[in-house]
Structure 1
Amino acid sequence: MSARPGVGEERSMRVASYNIRKAVGLDWRRDPHRVVDVLGEIDADVIALQEADRRIGTRAGVLPLDRLETELGYIMTDVSIRPLSHGWQGNAILVRSRLFDHVAERILLPTMEPRGAVSVRLRQPDLEVIGVHLGLTPGMRRKQMLTLQKRLEDCDHPVLLAGDFNEWNSGRLPFAAPATVVSPGLSFHASRPTASLDRFVLGPGLRSVSAHVHHSALAKRASDHLPVVVDIAFTTRNP
């Protein structure tokens, strides 16, 4: 996290979202260390991950947590209900260890699939990041997004949604002002990107300074999605 001076602004942060496909790359090898290397390239403060565990059996997590902490300074927020899982329903959030003071929770969404959302609320700066992986059918996605829109409206603190919205048509995103949808660019399929499935939604008190899809040679092999990144500024004072 670094200071970026500006009128009415105090701080800025980098948030990323990455569907890692259970660490299975385009070569069909499960290589979690390759995913860690991509995360190191991005250098975000907070990272929302999707498909961070295996979806059958014990639903064990796929990432080397020791390496994430010792080399990159990330800790995974505790939202799992299974002892070996990373996150909940495949959704996980990594935060820099210097932002350790936080509260994490699971968020129930309308669903007929093992989907959902997870949240981490940082205390300094006061920010809630919600990681999402939405459903495959248009009707269910809309219900899920309306639930998330209601949460944005009800919160009295800055909230950022980050994740794989699984929505090919940007006109079907129901988020209304003052929320802002940020689509960094084409992120799927990594071999030939044609869709902006991975997005951010910024609630009141937040502004997008810049956003991009992370197009490194390694990222183009590590998963079928490319990571997306947003640098945000706080437009209201947080104590």
Structure 2
Amino acid sequence: MEKLMLPASGQDTDTAVAPDLNPWPLTVATYNIHGAIGTDGRLAPQRIADVLREIDADVIALQEVPLGGAGRASVLDLLEEATGFHAVEGPTEDRPERRYGNAVLSRYPIIAKRTIDLSFGSREPRGALDADIDCHGHPLRVIATHLGLQPAERRHQIRLLLQAFDTDRMPVILTGDLNEWFVWGRPLRWLVSHFEPVPAPRTFPSRFPVFALDRLWISPRHRLVRVEVHATPLARLASDHLPLIAHIAG
């Protein structure tokens, strides 16, 4: 897994982080923005920005984010400007004509990022964006991902994710659109074994949610106070997924 330093960080992320530091309290959200195309079929990035203002989370993991390319606007750039947050991208499609994938927005500085390739055979390229965030000197690791549509694909991807990080070095949050609707499927069982059970409210489709596709897992688990879906009229319109929000106590 390649480690990449952001240009302005000036910090060495190979340096061990003291395990007793923690970044709480914190509000974290995950949101599949569907390319900023709403349930009315209209491309409207400003609506996504308005939903993010409604949420007012400290850290936001985003999936299906247009990241620019020849003749294409970067929705992430717009969201970064609208929120005033730090932003980092993790493209799963990275061609001159189109860049697309995961992203993280953070109220706090993002001091390092890594990308994890989760592609499976000839299926659509998938990946995870693995970011280290400095919350007033307290470290937090956030892994934002969007898993595949086939069960075998998701099993492969969860194995890779669980191998890619440990939960001892610093607090960690794994979040994103897992595309997993089998409640007793192996990927969810593996995640419960690695972390602990967490609430999973329904987020998809946004107008009438039936499936809990968007998830959040945290270590240490006892910090998690509440998980809720942001289901305002604007959120139901802005994307086909609803944002999932986690409130983490100090």
TM-score class, shorter: 0.7 to 0.9
In structure 2, the CA distance between the partners of 1:120 and 1:54, relative to structure 1 (3 Å rule), is closer
**2: CA distance, partners of 1:199 / 1:142:** 16
Question: Is 1:140 paired with 2:149?
Answer: no
Contact persistence 1:38–1:219 (CA under 8 A): yes
Residue 84 of structure 1, CA deviation: 8.1
Alignment coverage as a number of residue pairs: 221
Contact persistence 1:22–1:54 (CA under 8 A): no
Question: Which segment is superposed worse, 168-177 or 134-143?
Answer: 168-177
**2: CA distance, partners of 1:183 / 1:58:** 41
**2: CA distance, partners of 1:27 / 1:62:** 21
In structure 2, the CA distance between the partners of 1:192 and 1:129, relative to structure 1 (3 Å rule), is same
The alignment-based identity, stated in percent, is: 38
**Amino acid in structure 2 at the alignment position of 1:227:** P
- Which residue pairs with 1:167 in the alignment? 180
- Which residue pairs with 2:75 in the alignment? 63
Deviations 1:163-189 (A, max 9, x none): 000000122212144513434411000
Residue 224 of structure 1, CA deviation: 0.4
- Which residue pairs with 1:100 in the alignment? 109
- Which residue pairs with 2:128 in the alignment? 117
Q: Secondary structure at the match of 2:65?
A: coil
- Which residue pairs with 1:202 in the alignment? 218
Contact persistence 2:30–2:60 (CA under 8 A): yes
- Which residue pairs with 1:3 in the alignment? none
**2: CA distance, partners of 1:105 / 1:181:** 26
Question: Which segment is superposed worse, 72-81 or 193-202?
Answer: 72-81
Question: Is 1:153 paired with 2:166?
Answer: yes
- Which residue pairs with 2:236 in the alignment? 220
**1: CA distance, partners of 2:201 / 2:240:** 15
Question: Which segment is superposed worse, 225-234 or 188-197?
Answer: 225-234
Provide the alpha-carbon RMSD of the alignment: 2.8
**Amino acid in structure 2 at the alignment position of 1:48:** A
**Amino acid in structure 2 at the alignment position of 1:109:** L
Deviations 1:122-175 (A, max 9, x none): 133211001000001001101111221223436522111110000001222121
Residue 232 of structure 1, CA deviation: 1.8
Q: Secondary structure at the match of 1:147?
A: helix
**Amino acid in structure 1 at the alignment position of 2:191:** F
**Amino acid in structure 2 at the alignment position of 1:138:** P
**Amino acid in structure 1 at the alignment position of 2:77:** L
Contact persistence 1:184–1:213 (CA under 8 A): no
- Which residue pairs with 1:49 in the alignment? 62
In structure 2, the CA distance between the partners of 1:9 and 1:109, relative to structure 1 (3 Å rule), is closer
**Amino acid in structure 1 at the alignment position of 2:216:** F
**Amino acid in structure 1 at the alignment position of 2:231:** H
Structure richer in strand, relative to its length: 2
**Amino acid in structure 1 at the alignment position of 2:84:** G
Residue 91 of structure 1, CA deviation: 0.6
**Amino acid in structure 2 at the alignment position of 1:118:** L
Residue 68 of structure 1, CA deviation: 3.4
**1: CA distance, partners of 2:164 / 2:222:** 16
